[in-house]
Amino acid sequence: MSHQALWSWSALKIRDAVRGKAISATEVVKAHLDRIDAINPQINAIVTLVPDLALAQAREIDAAIDRGETLGPLAGVPVAHKDLTLTQGIRTTFGSKLFADFIPTRDAEIVARMKAAGAITLGKTNTPEWGAGSQTFNDIFGVTRNPYDRSKTAGGSSGGAAAALAARLVPLCDGSDFGGSLRNPASFCNVVGFRTTPGRVPIVPSENPEDPLPIAGPMARTVDDCALLLSVISGAHDQAPLSSLAEQLFEPPISVGAGPSKIAFSADFSGQIPVDPQVIDCLRRVRACFQEIGCEVTNDCPDLAGANDAFHILRASSFARRHGEGVRRNPRDYKQTIVWNVEAGLALTNADLQRGLQRQADLIERFRVFFKRYDFLVTPVVQVPPFDAALEYVTEINGQPMQTYIEWMQSCSVFSVTGLPALSLPAGFTSNGLPVGLQIIGKSRADLAVLQLAKAFETINPIWQQAPVF
């Protein structure tokens, strides 16, 4: 069989075709390597490629099929891992020149689970230095460009993953999210990114395993493929204290849910957060889709007072813990925005930390009450469309100045503070062809319900099928 178009297939279609011997895992890998060779130089999404390893893994899977062995749920599916994620024997730089040649001796737990499920590793995806900021660039590999407009950013910090998915270089990627690092690039690149409930996917190893703000999660082009990866990487781990969640079954195909849902819909956060008119217009155009699938839709948004302050305090504290010593020794080893974030964390007083925790607690309580009236909240993912790749970050929205490199991402970060599951889903395009995503926020631990609503929306609005043109 010609392998020319295999790079456009979904992960589920590849998995089932390999199992059924309609195609071989080797054909699949060769097709994706050819696609990477042709397209990746234009967008710089995959920064470390391991073709020999990938072909060896593919041949092992083909041999196992010939022997009649039982296959894992990702057998034959190509994947790429974020360059923050440890991969044994494969360079992992964290986007930092300090680790430009670092080769780990172990896999992160999510990588180990994907390998055990039969996934084939093609390489690593680009990320900003230490995953800081929603614009993917660093001093080692440079900038990752948006497949829909190469003059624009792919977002971040999982920008390499989102761009690779959109460009059909791989069907599945892992990502991570602190203040929007899965959701922002998914929105900018017309793919799916799921910030799951903290602990749903164990982060092992971790320098601070009890911190609920950083999460690892799945990225894909479709909801079913996202669920497929989540079914593999979720589950408890004895080194991840937040992972003791009741198990949920995420195996696709995801059902569209039972019965009507009550949705709070806000294209502009009721004026609490500035949003570009192009984003507002795009979301308002798809509001009726939720009514079409049987949902009761009400324009509403919870009170977000104090959420941004809480996030800034908690993030600064986290950066000071992780990078404080390195910045003290030699600040020139870090980009300026990281130095600023670390210094902000080091300057925090006990009163500041208590204020941040109290505002987080107040926000969580307001959302608990809010979700007594609704099943979901739907909002923009990002406050702006993809912007010029030469800019480090957005400095103003609708005439309102952004004071820091993370303030323009409040639309994601305020929901990180709540601990609620939040998924970025392709919604549409601006008038000049730039992707816009919508964000589905669910009730506490309702990850499966979020996927079900996303699947229902995707079924009647399959905008993900609009691929970039190269």
Active site positions, annotated: 82, 157, 181
CA-nearest of 226, 128, 247 to 178 is 128
User: How far is Cα 241 from Cα 37, in angstroms, rounded to an integer?
Assistant: 41
Taking the CA of residue 178 as centre, how many other CA atoms within 13 Å lie in the half-sphere pointing to its CB?
Answer: 18
Query: 165: how many CB neighbours lie within 10 A of its CB?
Result: 32
Strands 120-125 and 192-195: unpaired
Query: 156: how many CB neighbours lie within 10 A of its CB?
Result: 29
Query: 67: how many CB neighbours lie within 10 A of its CB?
Result: 7
Both structure tokens of 187:
């929105």
Strands 78-82 and 120-125: parallel
Both structure tokens of 370:
């809010």
Rg (CA), the chain: 21
User: How far is Cα 224 from Cα 227, in angstroms, rounded to an integer?
Assistant: 5
**The 120-125 sheet, strands edge to edge:** 46-49, 120-125, 78-82, 172-177, 215-220, 192-195, 422-429, 435-442, 376-380, 262-265, 296-299
Helix (H, G, I), strand (E, B) or coil at 440: strand
Strands 396-397 and 400-401: antiparallel
Q: Give residue 41's Cα distance to chain centre.
A: 22
CA-nearest of 444, 406, 407 to 196 is 444
267, β-bridge pairs? none
